[in-house]
Amino acid sequence: MKYCIGIDTGGTYTDAVLLEESTGKVVHWAKKPTTHHDVSLGVGNALSALFTEEIQAKDVVSLSVSTTLATNAIVENRGARVGLFVLGYVRHFKLPVVANIFLKGGHDITGKEEQPLDVESLIDTLQSLKGEVDSYAVCGSMSIKNPAHELVTEEAISLIDPKPVFCSHRVSEHPGMKERAATACLHAKLQPLMIDFLAAVQRSMIKVGLECPVTIICGDGCGAALGEVAERAAITMASGPAATAKFGATSGEETALVVDVGGTTTDVCMLKDGQPVMSNEGCRIDRWQTHVQAIDMYTSAGGGDSHITCNSEGKLTLLPTRVQPLSTTPGLPAPGTWLGDGQHNGLILPVESSVKTNDPILTSLAQYGPLPVIALAEKSGMSGITLEKRLERLLFLQKIGVAGFTPTDALHVLGKLQIGDRNIALQGAEVLAAKTGLTVDSLCEQTVILVEERIEKIILDYLGRSIWGEQQATPFLNHRDNEHFFIEFNLKLPLIGIGAAAKSFLPGVAKRLQTKASFPNLYETGNAIGAALIGMHSP
């Protein structure tokens, strides 16, 4: 008997499944925590758990990998620091970059130069950007007709600050400056992350003795080789949702919404005639529309490990960033000693491999252990924007972690989840309950409601854009609850839930939207199964 393996690495868990090659039947599955400081550890643990005395690594003929690490990085505004050069007469726009520089240059629709490239300003800007960015993106007006100015800019960068450069004409063949620039930017932003991830997968394979071919799942539902993904990282932006859609198509529903509720994000895609619907415009991740070919999907922040905070007035807020839940993070000090509002809403954690350093933040964490931001400022001598930017950088480099109260903790307190330490989750809930004037149960129930409201909004945003378009849908949906009226929706589509957190939140969402939610067999590891199925049918 020969077998295929599917892996899905998310922000919280890495799932792995072992399927019979001939039948597609799931033989074994495993769910292990994702180890962000070294992803190979979590992937290796998940792979190792699949094998038995009867089934060994030599019996595996293919390994297929999907991941939401790319989408998570975008919605949490993490990833490489990117400098974007936009060349030509264009309206200014914002993208997730460190610097957005608009220079004279560009071409017209026939490929004729509209104005000479401002090389002098380009060189001056590059001198000031050195040391501030990790990679560059370049987007010239109508470079799809004539890429000359992009190529000159690329050459100038290589001479002055030799770092990865992504030119828009190489990653998109479509007009639309903002979307083409976004596509180039996200390639530049994600490349280091994906190179590290692919290296981690290879290390894990060596560790368990796997020598089979590897397929990386792309957003269009097809597979790609390791080398192609390393060069064009953004093609993995909808990797997880593509696997989600493939698994959802096995549910037997002809028309439905497939909703994957993860730790960091919620992904939504549609089935029509039993198959995933493809996008005509390219995938959209949170606010960013791209030209990356993908299934018709929408990803936005909101999941089981989203950060729950309260302000000085006691208002609860669901933040877009993921933190490590109290209940699943061992060795935390008692929440009563650090958890609160403002700068006391999170605990900065050292990563064991990064303690030997001259960095004042890492040195302070190595000496004193986990610290809230306000205490870390005192110990490190850093504060304000300087401290904030340095913490962002250390998070990107996986040198630190952050723990805080999450919906996962609320579910533990309410007795709806039993995968971690309920006691420390309860302590955290008691601290926040005292700040908000709520009972512990009320605080946890309101936390669950915040997640349900967020998932409901993601679903309605997705459907609203598909029916009305973004310009009409956004103001309408943002004001459906106002001082004069409230609009309720009655969905004609059932929901198919995927992901470990789905069963905790989707029934409530389905009730809000007056529809039903179902959960296929092995829905907890649906993405890994979807990845394996795609890999089995890839050339």
Give the residue from 262, 397, 415, 427 showing the smallest Cα distance to 329: 427
- Tokens 């004001």 correspond to 479
Query: How high is the pLDDT of residue 342?
Result: 67
**C-alpha to C-alpha distance for 226 and 223, rounded to whole angstroms:** 10
Q: Could you list the pLDDT tens digit for every one of the 539 residues in the chain?
A: 899 999 999 888 899 999 999 888 999 999 998 888 888 999 999 999 999 888 999 999 999 999 888 778 777 777 789 999 999 977 788 888 888 999 999 999 999 999 999 999 999 999 999 888 999 999 999 999 999 999 999 999 999 999 989 999 988 888 888 889 988 998 888 888 888 888 999 999 999 999 999 999 988 888 888 777 777 777 777 888 889 999 999 988 899 999 999 888 899 999 999 998 888 777 777 777 778 788 888 888 899 999 999 877 778 999 988 999 999 998 899 999 999 876 668 899 988 654 456 888 998 888 888 998 888 988 988 888 888 888 888 887 788 989 999 999 999 999 998 888 999 999 999 999 998 899 999 999 999 999 999 999 999 999 988 888 777 777 778 788 888 888 889 999 999 999 888 999 999 999 999 999 999 999 999 999 999 999 887 66
State the Cα torsion 105-109-113-118 to the nearest 10°: 0
**Cβ atoms within 10 A of the Cβ of 273, count?**
8
At 338 the three-state DSSP class reads coil
7 CA to centre of own chain: 16
**C-alpha to C-alpha distance for 393 and 336, rounded to whole angstroms:** 28
At 314 the three-state DSSP class reads coil
Amino acid at site 423:
N
pTM more than 0.95: no
**C-alpha to C-alpha distance for 283 and 33, rounded to whole angstroms:** 28
Radius of gyration, alpha carbons of the chain: 24
Q: DSSP labels for 419-445?
A: SS-HHHHHHHHHHHHHHHT--HHHHHH
Cα→Cα distances 42→12, 35, 201, 483, Å? 10, 5, 10, 49
212 CA to centre of own chain: 27
Relative orientation angle of helices 440-468 and 502-512, to the nearest 10 degrees: 60
E strand or H helix at 201: helix 177-208
Query: How high is the pLDDT of residue 222?
Result: 86
- Tokens 């040195």 correspond to 363
Buried b / exposed e over 437-472, threshold 16 CB at 10 Å, is ebebeebbeebbbbbbebbbbbbbbbbbbeeeeeee
Give the residue from 446, 455, 447 showing the smallest Cα distance to 515: 455
At 47 the three-state DSSP class reads helix
